[in-house]
Chain A
Amino acid sequence: MIHVFNINDFYCALDTNSGLVHVIDEIVYDLLKDDSFKSESKVKIISHKYGQDITKEAIQEINSLINNNMLYTEDLDVENKIKPAVKAMCLNMAHDCNLKCEYCFASQGNFKGKRSLMSYEVGKKAFDYLVKSSGKRVNLEVDFFGGEPLMNFDTIKNLVEYGRSLEEKHNKKFRFTITTNGVLLDDDKIDYINENMSNVVLSIDGRKDVNDRMRKTVNDKGSYDTIINNFKKFVSKRGDKDYFARGTYTSYNLDFAEDVKHLNEIGFDIISVEPVVAKPEEKYALKDEHIEILKKEYEKLAKYYIDSYPDKNKRFQFYHFNIELDGGPCIYKRSIGCGAGTEYVAVTPEGDFYPCHQFVGEKEFIIGNVDEGITNEEVVSKFRNVSVNEKPTCRQCWAKYYCSGGCHANAYNFNKDFKVPYKVGCELEKKRIECSIMIKAKLQ
């Protein structure tokens, strides 16, 4: 399977099964598009356009790649070699929040349940389970999430200390991450987070009016002015450690590239602004009719990205334009998907396990708890058998080894079927991959 695409003056052919990316010229693009080089009549037309000799030369190059298994590589029968072991956790430290963002998937923080905070005892048991269940895996991931996790910061500090105490004894390495809305981010917390968290997600949507329309305080005021200085201070002290200024765009700001620009201009240099996932009846939801507009917006953002690159003061990273062509994960990892319910679980303040944070509150998806571990094999098995090649739409898709099948929760929420991916998400993901490859090629 191959995918040929062009953005402005950039032409590319991607070989899905080998993962090889070929930058091509317009002649090769015309020859590969719709497999034209295989049709005598189409080759005649192309020869007429470019000249016979040059067309022949291009076809020879195409055939050389095919003969060397670099183009039209055959489908692989990838049997899952990675043994399932829970090695990553999302700890919902607070089912409570000090903002009430309109698009919040967690129902303004409480996940449709009562407001609560995770106790140290529950978190400790979760860590013990993680160490045990991860077997020989060394790297463990713990994401402090919510609601707003800073509402339970003392417990987070105690849990980090507990996690560190387990590392040497069990030959484990904890990577702690945290997501925050910034309201409670003071000097002490900034210093602690910078010292202890390997990655931090700072939630902000972009321009003030865009942010304030969706991200409101409990008094219905915009949150931008409350958080912006906290975030700026955080970034100034972060050094070269990872973080993201992370926003959500909705149908209200289809020109989201302007929000990325704004975030860059006010001092954030690692940015992720993402499409909202919402029921179609919500006014702010992204729908099929928005897809083409959004694709153009990604192209516009890619241009801004490339134009900003030569100036070190303007250069920034846009998370979804990062792509690893040589140092990325192996084919096994790319096949099995996100690992929800098999490698990754979400833990509620009460100690219940869910396949991931997106399912929290949907009681039928409880798969276990901190005392008994995973007990609901029936639900877990549904998450185990959703590798990218087991999904009919994905199996035929050129992007399958870049996205590994998309978000299970989105598939379930939109289509009630783990094997049918969420269309808007897929279309935007594909465009982001194309833009990433173009950027990689242009900046090499």
Chain B
Amino acid sequence: MIHIKTLNNKKLTDNISVKGCGECQTSCQSACKTSCTVGNQKCENQ
């Protein structure tokens, strides 16, 4: 494509049948805990 470049290789909807293990870090978003948003966390099962 000339006008569009996609940054990611995976969709959130890929392989959802094998996702949802719950092993990832909790994502407290209160400021006093560094507001960990899920967007900057990693999946533990990659």
Would A73 and B28 count as touching, CB distance under 8 A?
no
Would B37 and A325 count as touching, CB distance under 8 A?
no
Interface residues of B in 19-46 (CB under 8 A from A): 19-35, 37-44, 46
Interface segment among A134-142, A154-162, A208-216, A306-314: the answer is A134-142
Would A274 and B11 count as touching, CB distance under 8 A?
no
Would B34 and A201 count as touching, CB distance under 8 A?
yes
At the interface, yes or no: A357 with Cβ under 8 Å from chain B?
Answer: yes
Interface residues of A in 73-92 (CB under 8 A from B): 73, 76, 81-83, 85, 87-88, 90
- Residues of B at under 8 Å CB distance from A? 1-13, 16, 19-35, 37-44, 46
Interface residues of A in 1-51 (CB under 8 A from B): 13, 17-25, 27-28
Chain B residues with Cβ under 8 A from A324's Cβ? Answer: 39-43
In this complex, what residue of A is CB-closest to B19? Answer: A330
Chain B residues with Cβ under 8 A from A347's Cβ? Answer: none
Task: Give the docked Cα–Cα distance between A341 and B40 (Å).
Answer: 22
Residue from B13, B23, B37 within 8 A of A404 (CB atoms): B37
At the interface, yes or no: A396 with Cβ under 8 Å from chain B?
Answer: no
At the interface, yes or no: A65 with Cβ under 8 Å from chain B?
Answer: yes
Chain A residues with Cβ under 8 A from B21's Cβ? Answer: 82
- Residues of A at under 8 Å CB distance from B? 13, 17-25, 27-28, 57-58, 61-62, 64-65, 69-70, 73, 76, 81-83, 85, 87-88, 90, 105, 137-139, 141, 143, 175, 179, 201, 244, 246, 248, 272, 274-277, 319-320, 322-334, 337-340, 343-344, 356-358, 401-404, 406-407, 409-410, 429, 433, 436-437, 440-441, 444
In this complex, what residue of A is CB-closest to B24? Answer: A329
- B38 CB to closest chain A CB, in angstroms? 5
Most chain A beta-carbon neighbours within 10 Å: one of B3, B20, B42: B3
11 pairs, CB–CB < 8 Å, chain A vs chain B: A22-B7, A23-B5, A24-B5, A28-B3, A272-B34, A319-B34, A323-B39, A332-B19, A357-B30, A407-B35, A429-B35
